[in-house]
Amino acid sequence: MPLEVFQAPATLREQLIEFQVRQQCHPLTELEQFKEELAGYVGVYLLYYRGQFPLYSGITYANQDLCCMPIYIGKAENPGKRTGKGSVTGGLIGRLREHRSSIRSSANLDVTDFDFTVVAMAVDLVAWGEAVLIRHFQPVWCSVISGFGIHAPGKGRLAQMRSMWDEIHPGRSFAVQLPINLVTVASLQPQVAQHCQNLAVRLGCPSQLSEDAE
């Protein structure tokens, strides 16, 4: 007899995506203006890019008028908490601060080129919510270029290779001491461009290729 597997109803996934789309997008530079509103809440957050780094031109184009194509999606949880609220310094505000710091450390990214949205939720739903939104939006920093969300490795892991993200966006102090990653912007360009084009069509975002065809 095959094992019976519980699946979340498709309508629940659709409700989450619709809920996320309704959330307002804010500049990452204005994060501290929302520290009281976000303090202690857990959930999922989305980052959007509008800058001039050539590898992400498709993402910038898609986000020219509104936050349509996230470049990264992550989750913020407080272990042991059973409701939507936790510590004042952790949760959504804490995780977004960490990412803001990573972007500021990068030699070729500017925090003024990033926006964010959040989906606050009960901690029981956070991991599920992150998985649903990543699967739907397939952000580049989650599906093609890995490493943005990592923390400094422990002493026993200093021999691990530098992440793709840290190789392309150097600046984080802990990554400098790691062995180089041979990935390059040129090697990633075709894959990222095709990925963004496919996403633009599926998500209904503005597309560079559709503009060029006119």
Place 213 in a pLDDT band, splitting at 50, 70 and 90: very low
C-alpha to C-alpha distance for 95 and 100, rounded to whole angstroms: 9
Name the CATH architecture for the domain at 10-213: 3-Layer(aba) Sandwich (3.40)
C-alpha to C-alpha distance for 199 and 138, rounded to whole angstroms: 8
Place 27 in a pLDDT band, splitting at 50, 70 and 90: very high
Question: Residue 128's closest CA among 6, 8, 5?
Answer: 8
- Mean pLDDT for all residues in the chain: 90
More confident residue, 35 or 88: 35
**Looking at the predicted structure, is the pLDDT value of residue 97 above 60?**
yes
Percent above pLDDT 90 for the chain: 76
CA separation (Å) from 116 to 11, 81, 85, 157?
A: 25, 24, 20, 31
Task: Kindly state the average pLDDT of the residues 192-209.
Answer: 94
Most confident of 76-90, 94-108, 200-214: 94-108
Residues 6+ apart with CB under 8 A from 22: none
Determine which helix (DSSP H) or strand (DSSP E) holds 203, and give its type and residue range: helix 185-203
Task: Kindly state the average pLDDT of the residues 152-177.
Answer: 82
Question: Residue 92's closest CA among 81, 77, 80, 102?
Answer: 77
More confident residue, 172 or 8: 172
**Looking at the predicted structure, is the pLDDT value of residue 69 above 60?**
yes
pLDDT score, position 47: 98
Report domain extents, the chain. 10-213
**Single-letter amino acid, residue 20:** Q
pLDDT (tens digit per residue) in 71-94: 999 999 874 444 455 454 579 999
**Looking at the predicted structure, is the pLDDT value of residue 165 above 70?**
yes
pLDDT score, position 45: 98
Place 160 in a pLDDT band, splitting at 50, 70 and 90: confident
Burial of 170 (0-12, 13-18, 19+ CB in 10 A): middle
Angle between helices 123-137 and 10-22 (to 10 degrees): 80
Helices (H) and strands (E) in the chain, counts: 10, 4
**Single-letter amino acid, residue 19:** F
pLDDT score, position 210: 58
